[in-house]
Amino acid sequence: MIFNLTIMGTASAMPISDRNPSAQMLEVHGRLFLLDCGEGTQQQMRRAHLAFMKVEAVFISHIHGDHLFGLFGLLNTMTMYGRTAPLYIYGPRALGSVLNFYRSFFGEHESYDIVFTPVDCRGPQLVHRSKWVTVTAFPLNHKIECYGYRFDEIVTERHWQENPAYHPKSYAYCSDTSPLPELAEWVMGVDLLYHEATYPNEMADKAADRGHSTAAQAAQCAKDAGAARLVVGHYSSRITDFDALQAECREIFPETVAAQDGDVFKI
Ligand SMILES: [Zn+2]
Ligand SMILES: [Zn+2]
């Protein structure tokens, strides 16, 4: 079972020359699930050889531009390719207005249906069920309404019978967030956890002020959740020493990687 995560952007909101804003692609057995869609996501998909037409669903964490501004271009490209399969999109209720704005100008010749389902939950809620995975949304602790998403592999009855010791794969995406006590429980036991680490530990005040986390806070969540591995990203444009940030995480949670754009993690 292929369960691969491609990191397409590790920057936060300020444009910088060598990093893209937030976007990730989880590939599960040939189906693609897009997590956030910052500017430049289409080009990053090209570089990573991720097919536009294989995207089954898009999960937007919140309505900040660095997580969203790439979506219009992608939706438009799918029409240029003549997509007919519906595209499922999940995100905060306000995303519905954003999509309506897009469609009011560019949707006339859309070749496929956009099926938008607003996410509105105070705890974990199943939002999407695909052939091989379930996707559960959960709230995060940011400046505005914001959600994370957890992917759990669906294992068939027959597969269990043939492999009783099989461990179903799982991944959780924690976009922009300050520490949230319940979060570790909601992402408990995942094989791979992405958690933002916008700031190094010495900038804890700034992190709290802006609804973000430090390296240590991301690592603590992974430790509390009993995750197997942690990936961090969404770096402030002021960070230049990624080894130092990674080291701060590893002091608390040794199995941490400070992601770079283009990294692929096999789960
Ligand atoms: Zn952000
Ligand atoms: Zn944000």
Q: What ligand has the least distance to the C-alpha of 36?
A: 1
Q: How far apart are CA 37 and CA 173, in angstroms?
A: 13
The Å distance, Cα 97 to ligand 2 centre, comes to: 18
Strand spans (E) along 15-132? 23-28, 31-37, 55-59, 87-92, 114-119, 125-129
Using a cut of 0.75, tell me whether the model's pTM lies above it.
Answer: yes
**pLDDT given for residue 108 in this prediction:** 81
The Å distance, Cα 66 to ligand 1 centre, comes to: 5
Q: CA geometry: angle at 223 spanning 217 and 225, to 5°?
A: 105
Mean pLDDT by 10 residues, the chain (267 residues): 96 93 97 98 98 97 98 96 97 97 90 97 98 97 98 93 94 98 98 98 98 98 98 96 97 98 98
The Å distance, Cα 211 to ligand 1 centre, comes to: 10
**pLDDT given for residue 111 in this prediction:** 94
Q: What ligand has the least distance to the C-alpha of 234?
A: 1
The Å distance, Cα 168 to ligand 2 centre, comes to: 31
Q: How far apart are CA 101 and CA 23, in angstroms?
A: 22
Per the structure, the count of domains in the chain is: 1
**Cβ–Cβ < 8 Å for 79, 112:** yes
Q: How far apart are CA 249 and CA 93, in angstroms?
A: 34
The Å distance, Cα 64 to ligand 1 centre, comes to: 6
Q: What residues are annotated to the active site?
A: 66
| Strands across the sheet containing 3-9 | 114-119, 87-92, 55-59, 31-37, 23-28, 3-9, 264-266
Helix, coil or strand: residue 94: helix
The boundaries of the domain holding residue 23 are: 3-266
| Strands across the sheet containing 229-233 | 125-129, 133-139, 147-153, 170-174, 192-196, 229-233, 256-258
Q: What ligand has the least distance to the C-alpha of 64?
A: 2
**pLDDT given for residue 1 in this prediction:** 82
The residue written with tokens 């990624």 in the block is 242
**pLDDT given for residue 153 in this prediction:** 97
**pLDDT given for residue 233 in this prediction:** 98
> For residue 187, what is the domain's CATH number?
3.60.15.10
